Amino acid sequence: MSGSAKKELKLIIIGAALFALAFAASKLFPDLPWYVTALIFLVPYIVAGGEVLLEAAHGIKNGQLLDENFLMSVASLGAFAIGEQPEAVLVMLLYRLGELLQSIAVGKSRASVSALIDICPESVNLETENGVEEVSPEEVQIGDIFVVRAGERVPLDGTVVVGSSSVNTAAITGESLPVDVAQGDAVISGSINTSGVLRVRADREYADSTAARMLDLIEGAAANKSKSEKFITRFARIYTPVVVALAVLLAIVPPLFFGGEWKEHIYRALNFLVISCPCALVISVPLTFFGGIGAASKNGILVKGSNCFEALSKCGTVVFDKTGTLTKGSFHIARIVPAAGVSELELMYKAAAVERHSTHPLAECVTGAYELGGYASPLPAAENCVERVGFGVSALIEGKLVRAGNERLMAEAGVVPDKSENASTVIYVCENDRYLGRLEIEDEIKPGSASAVARLKNELGIGSVMLTGDRRPIAEGIAEKLALDDVFAELLPEDKVESLESIMAETAKGKTVAYVGDGINDAPVIARADIGFAMGALGSDAAIEAADIVLTDDNIERVPLAVRIAKRTVGIAWQNIILALAVKLAVMLLGALGYAEMWMAIVADVGVCLAAVLNAMRAMRVGRAS
């Protein structure tokens, strides 16, 4: 418990003790003059409610007339004026107790979230000419060397130059398993060095570091309010003046026009004011979204605002990019199919000899497979290398023209290749007019892709679609393996936005469409979607600017987790809205009809507020991605 909370509790205890003494005195000496009784109860009233009265006066001075301090002051002073001094003191005590319990609950929630994002060290152990000195992270320049000891957080993104260790990246990526790093490996700011000493070269300045970007995203999320939060803000502005006006009418209309007793109806009006405080709504709904954003960040999901959560909770379709999102984006040769009379060695020898002069990812896959595949023959020199986009590459190898590419390149050579029946990217190879065979290359599906799609469909009822520029047979093969609902293939970059818009047009009314991309080439599509996900994109300015939600690593299973957190968070927010409004309206009606005393009103108000705050804290308790 904080120092201010302990002070508050001490005042409540003293006030309660003085109230007990005053109440006992009023019962032991019932014939005391009314002003003596009032003075006896005034002491505990000032102890318990003095601060509330001062806050109310301060609010009046600053033009903030209709806040909860003002309402509570008017109600309790009014009770004093009509001779209900014990109830006035009891109301103030209960109110202060409720505020204390509420502040403790909110404080614990905020402390839990703050712990999640407390990832930026205040100093860096920088190597200088005078040895290692502690400096602020903002002073470190790109290329500087800093030291990270065991148990310390990595302050800046960098590359290990000396040392080896394991780093815990849970605060950034949500992954609990440590990652082994050694010389040449990258480390990200915010992660914890669990063992050994690392000397690290700074690759980014502090403002551009992963940890700083995360903090900017999380802190900026508060500015992007959801419709629910905006509704509560507007509601409170209209609601409070209306209930004050109704309380005034309740106090004066029945006595003036219907012969009611002034004391009784003033008391009812004061009850009405006590009940009317909308604190349960004003506090619990933003706290719910704050907790949800904290739970998401704990799992490596950075949400730019509660408005993104609300849109994601209505998601009907998730559209995925293929390469780098559903698949690893790292190619491997799945099958080597030599032509009749050609050996595997000859096919790989000629293919690697010509492909090593290309920088295309498929070419790098072929040369890498040759170098690592145990083929002993050194690759020959190549002459007159020509690479043609959309066809392939050709070169003179040992005096013969070797071509490696697609069917169109083979057709130019007058060669008819044997077709593959597999959903693979195929490189055909020929030497002059002699067909040598084919290499079938595949992009490996990420381990979590099938699970993520299944969770979206089976647990959340959300459809999955894939957009890709790859050939239709390959795209359809991957779509079949992942059980996707639809696939759009052979798309140019500009076609992806058009395809996404057609999906959005066909989506049911009231449902949103999310797009998940690798955050580098997909910025236009990410920006166009109702909710844009950027995967593993903390280093990409375009992705962070375009995306609504940033996944700190390439774990595709965080997508259904993000949807689940969003649905849970929005559901809890609406539970609090309905609970608070229902209980308040019921007790307000009872108070107006004279069936609820003032202490009952304050218990109902405090009880609802505490229930709503505790319910809001549930938004933080969401399991990690598997």
Q: What is the pLDDT of residue 592?
A: 74
Domain final residue pick, 444, 460, 493 = 444
- Mean pLDDT within 117-140: 84
- Mean pLDDT within 113-126: 68
Tell me the three-class secondary structure of 384-405, residue by residue.
EEEEECCCEEEEEECCEEEEEE
Q: Are residues 209 and 306 in the same domain?
A: no
Domain final residue pick, 219, 234, 257 = 219
Q: What is the pLDDT of residue 527?
A: 83
Q: Are residues 513 and 428 in the same domain?
A: no
Q: What is the pLDDT of residue 234?
A: 63
The better pLDDT of the pair 201, 243 is held by: 201
Q: What is the pLDDT of residue 626?
A: 39
Q: Are residues 478 and 434 in the same domain?
A: no
The radius of gyration of the chain from alpha carbons, rounded to an integer in Å, stands at 34
Q: What is the pLDDT of residue 16?
A: 86
* Per-residue pLDDT tens digits for 49-61: 888 888 878 877 7
Q: Are residues 337 and 433 in the same domain?
A: yes
Q: What is the pLDDT of residue 64?
A: 63
The better pLDDT of the pair 476, 430 is held by: 430
Low-confidence winner among 140-149, 187-196, 249-258, 418-427 (lowest mean pLDDT): 418-427
pLDDT beyond 70 at 229: no
Name the band, by pLDDT with cuts 50, 70 and 90, for residue 435: very high
Name the band, by pLDDT with cuts 50, 70 and 90, for residue 548: confident
The better pLDDT of the pair 158, 99 is held by: 158
Q: Residue 384's domain is classified under what CATH number?
A: 3.40.1110.10
Mention every residue, 6+ apart, whose C-beta is less than 8 A from residue 306: 221, 224, 225, 226, 228, 229, 286, 289, 292, 293, 569
Q: Are residues 439 and 452 in the same domain?
A: no
- Mean pLDDT within 82-91: 75
The better pLDDT of the pair 55, 1 is held by: 55
* Per-residue pLDDT tens digits for 163-192: 988 888 766 665 556 788 889 988 888 888
Residue 284 inside a domain? The answer is no
Q: Are residues 429 and 340 in the same domain?
A: yes
pLDDT beyond 80 at 560: yes
> Residue for token digits 């998940």?
516
- The domain tally of the chain equals 3
Q: What is the pLDDT of residue 622?
A: 60
Q: Residue 205's domain is classified under what CATH number?
A: 2.70.150.10
* Per-residue pLDDT tens digits for 487-506: 998 887 678 889 999 999 99
Q: What is the pLDDT of residue 209?
A: 77
Contact status, residue 346 vs residue 539, Cβ threshold 8 Å? no
The sign of the torsion formed by the CA atoms of 500, 503, 508, 509 equals positive
- Which ranges of 29-84 would DSSP assign to H, the alpha helix? 34-61, 68-81
Instruction: Say how far apart CA 17 and CA 15 lie, in whole Å.
Output: 5
Q: 392 is written with which tokens?
A: 């392939």
- Mean pLDDT within 122-127: 89
% of the chain with per-residue pLDDT over 90: 25
Residue 621 inside a domain? The answer is no
Q: Are residues 417 and 509 in the same domain?
A: no
- Mean pLDDT within 475-498: 87
Residue 398 inside a domain? The answer is yes
Residue 393 inside a domain? The answer is yes
- Mean pLDDT within 406-431: 88
Closest CA to 571 of 282, 289, 279, 280: 289
- Mean pLDDT within 461-467: 95
Q: 522 is written with which tokens?
A: 């997909």
Domain final residue pick, 201, 219, 237 = 219
pLDDT beyond 80 at 219: no
CB atoms within 10 A of CB 369: 20
Contact status, residue 584 vs residue 285, Cβ threshold 8 Å? no
- Mean pLDDT within 600-618: 74
Q: Are residues 428 and 454 in the same domain?
A: no
Task: Tell me how far CA of residue 204 lies from CA of 155, 212, 238, 320, in angstroms.
Answer: 11, 11, 49, 30
Q: What is the pLDDT of residue 377?
A: 82
Contact status, residue 462 vs residue 315, Cβ threshold 8 Å? yes
- Give the pairing type, strands 131-135 and 158-162: unpaired
Q: What is the pLDDT of residue 325?
A: 86
Instruction: Say how far apart CA 38 and CA 33 lie, in whole Å.
Output: 9
Which residues have a catalytic role annotated?
321
Highest mean pLDDT among 77-91, 263-277, 475-489, 491-505: 475-489
Q: Residue 300's domain is classified under what CATH number?
A: 3.40.50.1000
- Mean pLDDT within 142-157: 91
Contact status, residue 425 vs residue 349, Cβ threshold 8 Å? no
Residue 270 inside a domain? The answer is no
- Mean pLDDT within 518-534: 81
- Give the pairing type, strands 327-338 and 434-445: antiparallel
Low-confidence winner among 69-83, 194-208, 468-482 (lowest mean pLDDT): 69-83
Contact status, residue 338 vs residue 427, Cβ threshold 8 Å? no
% of the chain with per-residue pLDDT over 70: 82
Residue 275 φ/ψ, nearest 5 degrees: -70, -30
Low-confidence winner among 8-17, 96-105, 203-212 (lowest mean pLDDT): 96-105
Low-confidence winner among 24-33, 514-523, 538-547 (lowest mean pLDDT): 538-547
The better pLDDT of the pair 543, 548 is held by: 548
Residue 607 inside a domain? The answer is no
Q: 338 is written with which tokens?
A: 């030599």
Domain with 510 in it: 290-319+447-566
- Mean pLDDT within 515-537: 81
Instruction: Say how far apart CA 448 and CA 291 lie, in whole Å.
Output: 26
Q: Are residues 433 and 465 in the same domain?
A: no
Q: What is the pLDDT of residue 171?
A: 63
Query: Is pTM, for the whole model, over 0.75?
Result: no
pLDDT beyond 90 at 466: yes
Low-confidence winner among 160-164, 188-192, 396-400 (lowest mean pLDDT): 188-192
Looking at every residue in the chain, the average pLDDT score rounds to 81
Q: 539 is written with which tokens?
A: 């280093």
What is the SS3 assignment for 133? strand
Instruction: Say how far apart CA 254 and CA 260 lie, in whole Å.
Output: 5
Name the band, by pLDDT with cuts 50, 70 and 90, for residue 158: very high
Q: Are residues 439 and 451 in the same domain?
A: no
Q: What is the pLDDT of residue 468?
A: 85
Residue 17 inside a domain? The answer is no
- Mean pLDDT within 317-343: 88
Q: What is the pLDDT of residue 200?
A: 95
Q: Are residues 157 and 303 in the same domain?
A: no
What amino acid occupies position 134? E
